[in-house]
Structure 1
Amino acid sequence: MTDDAAVRALLRTQRDAWAAGDGAAFAATFTPDADFVSVIGEFVQGRGELAVVMQEGFDGFMRGTRMAEPDTCALRFPAPDVAVLVTVGDKPMPPGVAAPPDARSVQTRVALRANGTWLFTSFQNTRIAQFPA
Protein backbone atom coordinates (compact mmCIF):
# COMPACT_ATOMS: atom_id res chain seq x y z
CA MET A 1 0.00 0.00 0.00
CA THR A 2 1.34 3.45 -0.87
CA ASP A 3 1.81 6.07 1.84
CA ASP A 4 -1.00 8.11 0.30
CA ALA A 5 -3.37 5.14 0.47
CA ALA A 6 -2.28 4.28 4.03
CA VAL A 7 -3.02 7.79 5.35
CA ARG A 8 -6.40 7.81 3.59
CA ALA A 9 -7.14 4.37 5.06
CA LEU A 10 -6.33 5.73 8.52
CA LEU A 11 -8.90 8.47 7.97
CA ARG A 12 -11.48 5.82 6.94
CA THR A 13 -10.67 3.86 10.11
CA GLN A 14 -11.34 7.03 12.09
CA ARG A 15 -14.69 7.51 10.31
CA ASP A 16 -15.64 3.86 10.97
CA ALA A 17 -14.83 4.25 14.68
CA TRP A 18 -17.01 7.38 14.81
CA ALA A 19 -19.89 5.55 13.12
CA ALA A 20 -19.54 2.75 15.68
CA GLY A 21 -19.55 5.25 18.55
CA ASP A 22 -16.27 3.75 19.77
CA GLY A 23 -14.08 6.30 21.57
CA ALA A 24 -11.21 3.86 22.11
CA ALA A 25 -11.14 2.85 18.43
CA PHE A 26 -11.25 6.51 17.37
CA ALA A 27 -8.39 7.36 19.74
CA ALA A 28 -6.42 4.34 18.46
CA THR A 29 -5.93 6.24 15.18
CA PHE A 30 -3.68 8.66 17.14
CA THR A 31 -0.23 8.40 18.69
CA PRO A 32 -0.14 8.00 22.48
CA ASP A 33 1.04 11.63 22.88
CA ALA A 34 -1.33 13.18 20.31
CA ASP A 35 -2.69 16.73 20.47
CA PHE A 36 -6.35 17.18 19.50
CA VAL A 37 -8.17 20.50 19.12
CA SER A 38 -11.91 20.24 18.53
CA VAL A 39 -14.08 22.62 16.53
CA ILE A 40 -15.09 24.38 19.78
CA GLY A 41 -11.47 24.84 20.82
CA GLU A 42 -11.34 21.98 23.31
CA PHE A 43 -7.70 20.87 23.70
CA VAL A 44 -7.17 17.20 24.50
CA GLN A 45 -3.74 15.71 25.02
CA GLY A 46 -2.96 12.03 24.71
CA ARG A 47 -4.70 8.97 23.33
CA GLY A 48 -6.06 7.93 26.73
CA GLU A 49 -7.76 11.25 27.42
CA LEU A 50 -9.00 11.42 23.84
CA ALA A 51 -10.66 8.01 24.18
CA VAL A 52 -12.51 9.22 27.30
CA VAL A 53 -13.58 12.55 25.79
CA MET A 54 -14.74 10.96 22.54
CA GLN A 55 -16.67 8.22 24.33
CA GLU A 56 -18.43 10.86 26.44
CA GLY A 57 -19.41 12.60 23.20
CA PHE A 58 -20.52 9.37 21.51
CA ASP A 59 -22.63 8.51 24.56
CA GLY A 60 -24.09 12.03 24.62
CA PHE A 61 -24.46 14.82 22.09
CA MET A 62 -22.69 12.95 19.23
CA ARG A 63 -24.77 9.76 19.63
CA GLY A 64 -25.84 8.37 16.26
CA THR A 65 -23.88 10.89 14.19
CA ARG A 66 -21.56 10.02 11.31
CA MET A 67 -18.52 11.77 9.90
CA ALA A 68 -19.29 12.55 6.27
CA GLU A 69 -16.71 11.74 3.62
CA PRO A 70 -14.55 14.87 3.68
CA ASP A 71 -13.25 16.75 0.69
CA THR A 72 -9.48 16.32 0.58
CA CYS A 73 -7.82 19.64 -0.01
CA ALA A 74 -4.23 18.49 0.35
CA LEU A 75 -2.16 15.50 1.32
CA ARG A 76 1.57 16.00 1.33
CA PHE A 77 4.64 14.35 2.79
CA PRO A 78 7.12 17.00 3.98
CA ALA A 79 9.43 14.25 5.29
CA PRO A 80 9.55 10.48 4.64
CA ASP A 81 7.62 9.56 7.80
CA VAL A 82 5.41 12.66 8.12
CA ALA A 83 2.12 13.41 6.37
CA VAL A 84 -0.03 16.53 6.50
CA LEU A 85 -3.66 15.99 5.53
CA VAL A 86 -6.00 18.97 5.15
CA THR A 87 -9.69 18.25 4.59
CA VAL A 88 -12.96 20.14 4.50
CA GLY A 89 -16.00 18.45 5.92
CA ASP A 90 -19.51 18.85 7.19
CA LYS A 91 -20.52 18.70 10.83
CA PRO A 92 -21.18 15.06 11.79
CA MET A 93 -24.92 14.43 11.58
CA PRO A 94 -27.28 11.47 11.96
CA PRO A 95 -27.64 9.36 8.80
CA GLY A 96 -29.97 10.99 6.27
CA VAL A 97 -29.77 14.43 7.89
CA ALA A 98 -27.99 17.13 5.90
CA ALA A 99 -25.55 19.35 7.73
CA PRO A 100 -26.39 23.04 7.73
CA PRO A 101 -24.33 24.99 5.18
CA ASP A 102 -22.75 27.09 7.95
CA ALA A 103 -21.40 23.98 9.71
CA ARG A 104 -18.44 23.19 7.44
CA SER A 105 -14.98 22.98 8.90
CA VAL A 106 -11.36 22.68 7.83
CA GLN A 107 -9.40 19.93 9.56
CA THR A 108 -5.64 19.57 9.63
CA ARG A 109 -4.16 16.24 10.64
CA VAL A 110 -0.47 15.44 10.96
CA ALA A 111 0.41 11.75 10.74
CA LEU A 112 3.63 9.99 11.65
CA ARG A 113 4.87 6.62 10.46
CA ALA A 114 6.59 4.46 13.06
CA ASN A 115 7.46 0.79 12.52
CA GLY A 116 5.55 0.86 9.24
CA THR A 117 2.31 2.14 10.80
CA TRP A 118 0.77 5.56 10.20
CA LEU A 119 -0.99 7.31 13.12
CA PHE A 120 -2.26 10.84 13.51
CA THR A 121 -0.33 12.87 16.06
CA SER A 122 -2.04 16.24 15.74
CA PHE A 123 -5.56 17.33 14.81
CA GLN A 124 -7.01 20.85 14.47
CA ASN A 125 -10.64 21.49 13.49
CA THR A 126 -11.73 25.03 12.57
CA ARG A 127 -15.28 26.07 11.65
CA ILE A 128 -15.42 28.01 8.36
CA ALA A 129 -16.87 31.44 8.99
CA GLN A 130 -17.29 34.63 7.01
CA PHE A 131 -15.90 37.93 8.20
CA PRO A 132 -18.64 40.32 9.30
CA ALA A 133 -19.73 42.79 6.61
Structure 2
Amino acid sequence: MTGRKIAALVGTMVIALGIGSSANASGDDKAEFARILKQQYDAWYEENGAKFAATFHKDADMVTFNGEHLSTRKGIAEGMQYYFDNHIPASQLKLVDEHLRYARRDLVVIVRTTCIVETTDCRDGSLSRNTNVLSKRDGKWLQESFQNTRVDPLPPGVVPVAEPKAYTGSIEQIRQRQEDSWYEEDGAKFASTFSKDADVVTFNADHLRTRDGIAERMQFYFDNFINKTRLKKLGEHVRFVGRDLAVVVRTGCQLVPPSTECRPDSISRNTNVLVKRDGKWTQESFQNTRYVPIP
Protein backbone atom coordinates (compact mmCIF):
# COMPACT_ATOMS: atom_id res chain seq x y z
CA MET A 1 0.00 0.00 0.00
CA THR A 2 1.27 3.47 -0.84
CA GLY A 3 2.24 6.04 1.75
CA ARG A 4 -0.56 8.27 0.46
CA LYS A 5 -3.20 5.71 1.41
CA ILE A 6 -1.70 4.79 4.75
CA ALA A 7 -1.22 8.40 5.81
CA ALA A 8 -4.99 8.84 5.79
CA LEU A 9 -5.61 5.88 8.10
CA VAL A 10 -6.33 8.21 10.98
CA GLY A 11 -7.77 11.68 10.47
CA THR A 12 -7.98 13.15 13.94
CA MET A 13 -4.59 14.85 14.01
CA VAL A 14 -5.08 18.59 13.65
CA ILE A 15 -3.27 21.83 13.11
CA ALA A 16 -6.05 24.14 14.31
CA LEU A 17 -9.14 23.83 16.50
CA GLY A 18 -12.27 25.82 17.11
CA ILE A 19 -14.21 25.49 13.85
CA GLY A 20 -17.50 23.77 13.12
CA SER A 21 -19.98 23.33 15.94
CA SER A 22 -17.48 22.80 18.74
CA ALA A 23 -18.74 26.07 20.20
CA ASN A 24 -21.63 24.00 21.57
CA ALA A 25 -19.22 22.36 24.01
CA SER A 26 -18.50 23.87 27.41
CA GLY A 27 -15.13 25.42 28.10
CA ASP A 28 -13.97 22.42 30.13
CA ASP A 29 -15.14 19.96 27.48
CA LYS A 30 -13.52 21.94 24.67
CA ALA A 31 -10.25 21.86 26.56
CA GLU A 32 -10.52 18.08 26.95
CA PHE A 33 -11.36 17.53 23.29
CA ALA A 34 -8.44 19.78 22.32
CA ARG A 35 -6.14 17.83 24.64
CA ILE A 36 -7.12 14.53 23.03
CA LEU A 37 -6.62 15.92 19.54
CA LYS A 38 -3.24 17.41 20.40
CA GLN A 39 -2.07 14.16 21.95
CA GLN A 40 -3.04 12.27 18.82
CA TYR A 41 -1.30 14.85 16.64
CA ASP A 42 1.85 14.62 18.76
CA ALA A 43 1.72 10.82 18.69
CA TRP A 44 1.41 10.82 14.90
CA TYR A 45 4.38 13.18 14.56
CA GLU A 46 6.42 11.12 17.05
CA GLU A 47 5.26 7.81 15.49
CA ASN A 48 4.25 6.58 18.93
CA GLY A 49 1.48 3.98 18.87
CA ALA A 50 1.09 3.78 22.64
CA LYS A 51 0.71 7.54 23.00
CA PHE A 52 -1.86 7.57 20.23
CA ALA A 53 -3.83 4.72 21.84
CA ALA A 54 -3.80 6.43 25.24
CA THR A 55 -6.56 8.76 23.96
CA PHE A 56 -8.95 5.76 23.89
CA HIS A 57 -10.74 3.93 26.66
CA LYS A 58 -9.13 0.63 27.61
CA ASP A 59 -11.80 -1.42 25.76
CA ALA A 60 -12.24 0.93 22.77
CA ASP A 61 -12.71 0.10 19.08
CA MET A 62 -11.02 1.67 16.07
CA VAL A 63 -11.63 1.01 12.37
CA THR A 64 -8.89 2.36 10.11
CA PHE A 65 -9.07 3.85 6.63
CA ASN A 66 -8.68 0.42 5.03
CA GLY A 67 -11.30 -1.24 7.24
CA GLU A 68 -8.94 -2.85 9.74
CA HIS A 69 -10.54 -3.35 13.18
CA LEU A 70 -8.23 -2.58 16.10
CA SER A 71 -9.77 -3.63 19.40
CA THR A 72 -8.77 -2.44 22.91
CA ARG A 73 -6.20 0.21 23.77
CA LYS A 74 -3.46 -2.42 23.60
CA GLY A 75 -4.58 -3.55 20.15
CA ILE A 76 -4.78 0.03 18.89
CA ALA A 77 -1.28 0.74 20.21
CA GLU A 78 0.19 -2.35 18.56
CA GLY A 79 -1.66 -1.81 15.28
CA MET A 80 -0.74 1.83 15.00
CA GLN A 81 2.90 1.15 15.90
CA TYR A 82 3.04 -1.38 13.07
CA TYR A 83 1.67 1.24 10.67
CA PHE A 84 4.13 3.86 11.94
CA ASP A 85 7.09 1.47 11.62
CA ASN A 86 6.21 0.07 8.21
CA HIS A 87 3.87 2.29 6.21
CA ILE A 88 3.21 5.82 7.46
CA PRO A 89 5.60 8.47 6.13
CA ALA A 90 6.40 11.68 7.97
CA SER A 91 3.39 13.92 7.48
CA GLN A 92 0.90 16.25 9.10
CA LEU A 93 -2.87 16.21 8.92
CA LYS A 94 -5.10 19.26 8.86
CA LEU A 95 -8.62 19.73 10.19
CA VAL A 96 -10.87 21.00 7.39
CA ASP A 97 -14.28 20.82 9.07
CA GLU A 98 -15.88 19.58 12.28
CA HIS A 99 -19.43 18.72 13.36
CA LEU A 100 -19.88 18.16 17.11
CA ARG A 101 -23.07 16.86 18.71
CA TYR A 102 -23.90 15.73 22.23
CA ALA A 103 -26.01 12.56 22.21
CA ARG A 104 -26.25 13.02 25.97
CA ARG A 105 -24.21 14.91 28.51
CA ASP A 106 -21.55 12.19 28.77
CA LEU A 107 -21.51 11.11 25.11
CA VAL A 108 -20.39 13.21 22.14
CA VAL A 109 -20.26 12.41 18.42
CA ILE A 110 -17.68 14.37 16.42
CA VAL A 111 -17.51 14.02 12.62
CA ARG A 112 -14.35 15.55 11.20
CA THR A 113 -13.07 16.14 7.69
CA THR A 114 -9.28 16.14 7.38
CA CYS A 115 -6.56 16.08 4.75
CA ILE A 116 -2.84 15.39 4.44
CA VAL A 117 -0.55 18.41 4.30
CA GLU A 118 2.97 18.07 2.90
CA THR A 119 3.65 21.78 2.40
CA THR A 120 0.88 24.23 3.28
CA ASP A 121 -2.10 22.91 1.30
CA CYS A 122 -4.16 19.75 1.30
CA ARG A 123 -2.65 17.17 -1.01
CA ASP A 124 -4.89 16.18 -3.90
CA GLY A 125 -6.98 13.12 -3.15
CA SER A 126 -6.12 13.06 0.55
CA LEU A 127 -9.46 14.20 1.98
CA SER A 128 -11.02 11.82 4.51
CA ARG A 129 -13.87 11.88 7.02
CA ASN A 130 -13.96 10.23 10.43
CA THR A 131 -16.48 9.65 13.19
CA ASN A 132 -15.14 10.02 16.73
CA VAL A 133 -17.37 8.93 19.61
CA LEU A 134 -16.17 10.05 23.03
CA SER A 135 -17.67 9.19 26.39
CA LYS A 136 -17.04 10.61 29.82
CA ARG A 137 -16.30 7.94 32.41
CA ASP A 138 -15.37 8.83 36.00
CA GLY A 139 -15.15 12.48 34.98
CA LYS A 140 -12.69 11.92 32.10
CA TRP A 141 -13.32 12.11 28.35
CA LEU A 142 -11.75 9.44 26.14
CA GLN A 143 -12.64 7.88 22.81
CA GLU A 144 -15.01 4.89 22.65
CA SER A 145 -14.75 4.42 18.90
CA PHE A 146 -13.16 5.92 15.82
CA GLN A 147 -13.55 5.18 12.11
CA ASN A 148 -12.04 6.83 9.04
CA THR A 149 -13.10 6.74 5.36
CA ARG A 150 -11.58 8.36 2.26
CA VAL A 151 -13.86 10.95 0.63
CA ASP A 152 -15.05 9.80 -2.79
CA PRO A 153 -17.74 12.33 -3.74
CA LEU A 154 -20.98 11.38 -5.48
CA PRO A 155 -23.16 13.99 -7.20
CA PRO A 156 -25.28 16.15 -4.88
CA GLY A 157 -28.95 15.42 -4.58
CA VAL A 158 -31.74 14.20 -2.32
CA VAL A 159 -35.18 12.69 -2.78
CA PRO A 160 -37.74 14.42 -0.51
CA VAL A 161 -39.55 11.91 1.68
CA ALA A 162 -42.01 12.15 4.52
CA GLU A 163 -40.39 12.48 7.94
CA PRO A 164 -39.62 8.93 9.06
CA LYS A 165 -41.21 7.74 12.27
CA ALA A 166 -38.72 6.58 14.86
CA TYR A 167 -38.15 2.85 15.10
CA THR A 168 -36.75 1.38 18.31
CA GLY A 169 -36.14 -2.18 19.32
CA SER A 170 -33.36 -4.59 20.16
CA ILE A 171 -29.93 -4.29 18.56
CA GLU A 172 -30.68 -7.32 16.42
CA GLN A 173 -34.09 -5.94 15.35
CA ILE A 174 -32.45 -2.69 14.29
CA ARG A 175 -29.89 -4.57 12.19
CA GLN A 176 -32.62 -6.65 10.55
CA ARG A 177 -34.72 -3.57 9.76
CA GLN A 178 -31.74 -1.92 8.09
CA GLU A 179 -31.05 -5.02 6.01
CA ASP A 180 -34.71 -5.19 4.98
CA SER A 181 -34.81 -1.49 4.05
CA TRP A 182 -31.64 -1.91 1.97
CA TYR A 183 -33.20 -4.72 -0.05
CA GLU A 184 -36.48 -2.79 -0.34
CA GLU A 185 -34.56 0.37 -1.31
CA ASP A 186 -36.50 2.37 1.27
CA GLY A 187 -34.55 5.37 2.57
CA ALA A 188 -37.14 6.36 5.17
CA LYS A 189 -37.27 2.87 6.63
CA PHE A 190 -33.47 2.77 6.79
CA ALA A 191 -33.36 6.16 8.53
CA SER A 192 -36.06 5.22 11.04
CA THR A 193 -33.53 3.20 13.06
CA PHE A 194 -31.60 6.38 13.93
CA SER A 195 -32.18 9.06 16.54
CA LYS A 196 -33.58 12.35 15.30
CA ASP A 197 -30.17 14.08 15.30
CA ALA A 198 -28.01 11.10 14.27
CA ASP A 199 -24.92 11.09 12.05
CA VAL A 200 -24.14 8.65 9.23
CA VAL A 201 -20.89 8.52 7.23
CA THR A 202 -21.28 6.34 4.14
CA PHE A 203 -18.72 4.10 2.42
CA ASN A 204 -17.68 7.06 0.22
CA ALA A 205 -17.49 9.37 3.29
CA ASP A 206 -20.65 11.35 2.59
CA HIS A 207 -21.85 12.84 5.90
CA LEU A 208 -25.62 12.51 6.38
CA ARG A 209 -27.06 14.52 9.28
CA THR A 210 -30.36 13.98 11.10
CA ARG A 211 -32.97 11.28 10.50
CA ASP A 212 -34.56 13.38 7.74
CA GLY A 213 -31.21 13.94 6.03
CA ILE A 214 -30.36 10.26 6.20
CA ALA A 215 -33.73 9.30 4.68
CA GLU A 216 -33.52 11.77 1.80
CA ARG A 217 -29.91 11.07 0.84
CA MET A 218 -30.24 7.28 1.19
CA GLN A 219 -33.30 7.35 -1.07
CA PHE A 220 -31.23 9.29 -3.61
CA TYR A 221 -28.57 6.57 -3.43
CA PHE A 222 -31.14 3.79 -3.77
CA ASP A 223 -32.77 5.45 -6.77
CA ASN A 224 -29.57 6.33 -8.61
CA PHE A 225 -26.56 4.30 -7.50
CA ILE A 226 -27.33 1.22 -5.41
CA ASN A 227 -28.28 -1.90 -7.32
CA LYS A 228 -30.82 -4.24 -5.77
CA THR A 229 -28.70 -6.26 -3.36
CA ARG A 230 -28.96 -7.91 0.00
CA LEU A 231 -26.65 -7.29 2.94
CA LYS A 232 -25.00 -10.27 4.61
CA LYS A 233 -23.46 -10.18 8.08
CA LEU A 234 -20.08 -11.91 8.21
CA GLY A 235 -19.02 -11.02 11.73
CA GLU A 236 -19.95 -8.85 14.69
CA HIS A 237 -18.13 -7.43 17.70
CA VAL A 238 -20.53 -6.08 20.36
CA ARG A 239 -19.27 -4.12 23.36
CA PHE A 240 -21.51 -2.70 26.07
CA VAL A 241 -20.47 0.41 27.98
CA GLY A 242 -22.76 0.16 30.96
CA ARG A 243 -26.37 -0.82 30.31
CA ASP A 244 -27.39 1.90 27.87
CA LEU A 245 -24.51 2.35 25.41
CA ALA A 246 -23.35 -0.22 22.85
CA VAL A 247 -20.56 -0.08 20.27
CA VAL A 248 -21.10 -2.63 17.49
CA VAL A 249 -18.44 -3.26 14.83
CA ARG A 250 -19.83 -5.39 12.00
CA THR A 251 -18.22 -6.95 8.96
CA GLY A 252 -20.50 -7.60 6.01
CA CYS A 253 -20.84 -7.86 2.25
CA GLN A 254 -23.43 -7.51 -0.50
CA LEU A 255 -25.22 -10.38 -2.25
CA VAL A 256 -26.73 -10.15 -5.71
CA PRO A 257 -29.90 -12.30 -5.47
CA PRO A 258 -30.32 -15.18 -5.96
CA SER A 259 -26.61 -15.71 -5.27
CA THR A 260 -25.62 -16.46 -1.68
CA GLU A 261 -21.96 -15.56 -2.24
CA CYS A 262 -20.45 -12.16 -1.43
CA ARG A 263 -20.11 -9.90 -4.43
CA PRO A 264 -16.40 -9.41 -5.22
CA ASP A 265 -14.80 -6.45 -3.41
CA SER A 266 -17.97 -5.74 -1.42
CA ILE A 267 -16.67 -6.63 2.04
CA SER A 268 -16.89 -3.65 4.39
CA ARG A 269 -16.75 -2.89 8.10
CA ASN A 270 -18.98 -0.46 9.97
CA THR A 271 -19.14 1.00 13.45
CA ASN A 272 -22.62 1.42 14.96
CA VAL A 273 -23.08 3.36 18.22
CA LEU A 274 -26.43 2.76 19.91
CA VAL A 275 -28.02 4.34 22.97
CA LYS A 276 -30.82 2.85 25.05
CA ARG A 277 -33.57 5.27 26.06
CA ASP A 278 -36.72 4.23 27.94
CA GLY A 279 -35.75 0.61 27.49
CA LYS A 280 -35.33 0.78 23.70
CA TRP A 281 -32.26 1.03 21.48
CA THR A 282 -31.68 3.58 18.71
CA GLN A 283 -28.60 4.45 16.65
CA GLU A 284 -26.65 7.65 17.26
CA SER A 285 -23.94 7.18 14.65
CA PHE A 286 -22.89 4.84 11.86
CA GLN A 287 -19.88 4.76 9.55
CA ASN A 288 -18.91 2.30 6.85
CA THR A 289 -15.52 1.59 5.24
CA ARG A 290 -14.56 -0.83 2.49
CA TYR A 291 -12.18 -3.51 3.74
CA VAL A 292 -8.84 -3.51 1.90
CA PRO A 293 -6.28 -5.71 3.72
CA ILE A 294 -2.65 -4.60 3.89
CA PRO A 295 0.44 -6.75 4.61
Give the TM interval when normalised to the shorter protein.
0.7 to 0.9
CA contact (8 A) 1:110 1:120 kept: yes
Are 1:12 and 2:176 an aligned pair? Answer: yes
Are residue 87 (structure 1) and residue 255 (structure 2) matched? Answer: no
Structure 1 segments unaligned to the other structure (5+ residues): none
**How far does residue 23 in structure 1 lie from its aligned partner after superposition?**
0.6
CA contact (8 A) 1:74 1:87 kept: yes
Detail structure 1 runs of 4+ shifted over 6 Å in the superposition: none
Distance in 2 between residues matched to 1:94 and 1:104, nearest whole Å: 13
| Equivalent-residue separation in structure 2 for 1:130 and 1:19 (angstroms) | 27
Give the aligned partner of residue 135 of structure 2. Answer: none
Q: Which has the higher contact order (CA 8 A, sep 6+)?
A: 1
SS at match of 2:170: helix
What are the superposed Cα offsets for residues 49-90 of structure 1, whole Å, 9 maximum, x if unpaired?
A: 00001111111221422222x123311111211111111011
Distance (whole Å) between structure 1 residues aligned to residue 202 and residue 182 of structure 2: 14
TM-score normalised to the size of structure 2?
Answer: 0.40
TM-score (norm 1): 0.85
- For 2:281 and 2:181, locate their aligned partners in 1 and report how far apart those are by CA, in whole Å: 16
**Aligned positions of 1:1-133 closer than 5 A:** 6-68=170-232, 70-90=233-253, 92-97=254-259, 98=261, 99-100=263-264, 102-131=265-294
Distance in 2 (alpha carbons) for counterparts of 1:76 and 1:117: 17
**CA RMSD across the alignment:** 1.7
Provide Cα deviations, 1:2-52, integer angstroms capped at 9, x if missing partner. Answer: xxx921111001111111111101000011111111111111111100000
- Cα distance in 1, alignment partners of residues 171 and 207 from structure 2: 23
Task: Pick closer, same or farther for the CA change 1:64–1:103 going to 2, 3 Å.
Answer: closer
How many residues are treated as equivalent by the alignment?
125
**Higher-Rg member (1/2):** 2
Matched-pair contact (CA < 8 Å) for 1:57–1:63: no
Could you tell me which amino acid in structure 2 is paired with residue 72 of structure 1?
G
- Unaligned 5+ segments in structure 2 are 1-168
SS of the residue 1:126 aligns to = strand
The 3 A distance-change label for structure 1 pair 130 and 72 is closer
For the residue of structure 2 that corresponds to 1:59, the secondary structure is helix
SS in 1 for 2:179: helix
Equivalent AA in structure 2 for residue 38 of structure 1: T
C-alpha distance in structure 2 between counterparts of 1:47 and 1:79, whole Å: 25
